[in-house]
Amino acid sequence: MINLVKTLSTSHECIIVTTAFGNLTETIEKEGLNYRVIQLGNHANVLGRQARNYNSFKKNLMALQLVKFQIHFMLYAIKNKFDFIYSNNQGSFFKIFPVIKILKAQSVTYIRSVAENDFITRLCIKHCDQIITIADGLLDNLPKIFLEPFLSKIKTIHTGFDFKSFEDGEEISEVNSNLIRIGYVASISQRKGLDFLVSLFIESEKLSQNACLVICGQPIKDSEEYFKKCCNRLDSAGVTYIYLGYRKDIHNVYKSLDLMALPSLAEGLPRAVIEAMAHGIPVLANNVGGVKQIIKNEENGFILEPGDSSSWTKAVNLMISDSKKRLEMGKKAKEFVTENFSKEKFEIELRKVFG
């Protein structure tokens, strides 16, 4: 969203309307962007599976909070005469759908992860004027017969990166450079598959003796115990690993890796994969979401099936053993992403959507 608004601000007057405080608004202020916070109560701000478990009282409270937000948003939209209303996901579109209908404003929604075949997604696909997906295949869960009438308004635009900034950075001293350094750069949760990577290190003698697992990221809410168990397993097996936590100097992290692994069970277009490849690092990743649009299997990285320990172990061991192949794949990885995921290409495609 930040990149989108920065791009459009050169030709449009853009205002970010957010319900969030904290890190998001700090980032928006740092970028010097125009924004307005309109409060949305906690009950209405968790639309989805959690809301389905609400009792009658909580559901009514959620509805009241949502209506209050919509009224405030509509008054603000009328005052500022919005031509386009952009939603950062299907849930956001759902929250402001009545306002869009009343104002008859042009609507654009961004879908950045695999969409479920649910009421909210169908509403968005049917009634939003234009849909941007971050990768092909994110709508595959929806029946083709439903999607067919709306294909003309669905467009894939890959995230754009400023690759010049990737040239900065230096290796982190505490990362052991005597071993092959395999990075896990992601938030820590069961969906991201860190436990699978831990099992690989424990079960493969070659991997545990020749490689160091570098973990960069923080456990998401309710995943602290999961991460603790992962670390306990690594400690018990005597596996060499280092936990960097959350790092703002992400370029330094990539400079400190030889390989990266992303055994996620679900993804959109994983940013970490593109960033790693832009640093000349081959990536091994599960065949989920838009991974196939970034990695060319056995050419600039490896695409593997979720849960296929044998194939994962074979691919990792090959990369450990063959330094020449590892460097060649890293070079091809960098060439591919810098050509296909540039900031300039992203900006051109984005301006076509908003005119």
- Work out the pLDDT band at 49, boundaries 50, 70, 90: low
3-state helix, strand, coil in the chain (%, to 5): 50, 15, 35
Say if residue 50's pLDDT is above 90. no
Residue 132: phi, psi to the nearest 5?
-110, 125
Would you say 126 and 109 are in contact if contact means Cβ atoms under 8 Å apart? no
Q: Which residues contact 90 (CB under 8 A, 6 or more apart)?
A: 109, 111, 115, 120, 121, 123, 124
Exposed / middle / buried, residue 161 (Cβ in 10 Å: 0-12, 13-18, 19+): buried
In DSSP notation, 193-226 reads THHHHHHHHHH-HHHHHHEEEEEES-B-TT-HHH
The Cα–Cα gap between 263 and 234 comes to 17
Say if residue 58's pLDDT is above 90. no
- Work out the pLDDT band at 163, boundaries 50, 70, 90: confident
Say if residue 23's pLDDT is above 80. no
Q: Which residues of 319-342 are buried (b: 16+ CB within 10 A; e: fewer)?
A: bbeeeeebeebbebbbebbbeebb
What pLDDT sits at residue 4? Answer: 84
What pLDDT sits at residue 42? Answer: 82
Pick from 66, 155, 77: nearest CA to 110: 155
- Work out the pLDDT band at 64, boundaries 50, 70, 90: very high
If one compares 165 and 127, the residue with the highest pLDDT of the two is: 127
What pLDDT sits at residue 276? Answer: 96
Say if residue 41's pLDDT is above 80. yes
pLDDT tens digits along 310-329: 999 999 999 999 999 999 99
Would you say 214 and 241 are in contact if contact means Cβ atoms under 8 Å apart? yes
Would you say 285 and 302 are in contact if contact means Cβ atoms under 8 Å apart? yes
Give, for 155, the enclosing helix (H) or strand (E): strand 154-156
Give, for 95, the enclosing helix (H) or strand (E): helix 90-103
Q: Three-state DSSP class for 34?
A: coil
**Which of 38-42, 108-112, 192-196 is least confident?**
38-42
What is the pLDDT of the chain when averaged over all its residues? 91
Cα dihedral sign, 262-268-269-275: negative
Say if residue 52's pLDDT is above 80. no
pLDDT tens digits along 165-175: 887 778 888 88
What pLDDT sits at residue 47? Answer: 58
Would you say 136 and 113 are in contact if contact means Cβ atoms under 8 Å apart? no
**What mean pLDDT is predicted for residues 335-345?**
92
What pLDDT sits at residue 355? Answer: 74
What pLDDT sits at residue 317? Answer: 93
Say if residue 29's pLDDT is above 90. no
What pLDDT sits at residue 178? Answer: 85
**What mean pLDDT is predicted for residues 101-109?**
93
Position 42: which residue type? N
**What mean pLDDT is predicted for residues 113-122?**
91
What pLDDT sits at residue 162? Answer: 86
**What mean pLDDT is predicted for residues 336-352?**
90
- Work out the pLDDT band at 31, boundaries 50, 70, 90: confident
Pick from 47, 139, 113: nearest CA to 265: 113
- Asked whether the whole model's pTM tops 0.75, one would answer yes
Would you say 314 and 291 are in contact if contact means Cβ atoms under 8 Å apart? no
Strands 211-216 and 241-245: parallel
If one compares 22 and 12, the residue with the highest pLDDT of the two is: 12
What pLDDT sits at residue 12? Answer: 85
* Sequence-separated contacts (24+) of 151-157 with Cβ below 8 Å: 153/128, 153/129, 154/125, 155/130, 155/131, 155/349, 155/353, 156/132, 157/132, 157/133, 157/346, 157/349, 157/350, 157/353
- Work out the pLDDT band at 306, boundaries 50, 70, 90: very high
Say if residue 74's pLDDT is above 70. yes
**What mean pLDDT is predicted for residues 76-105?**
93
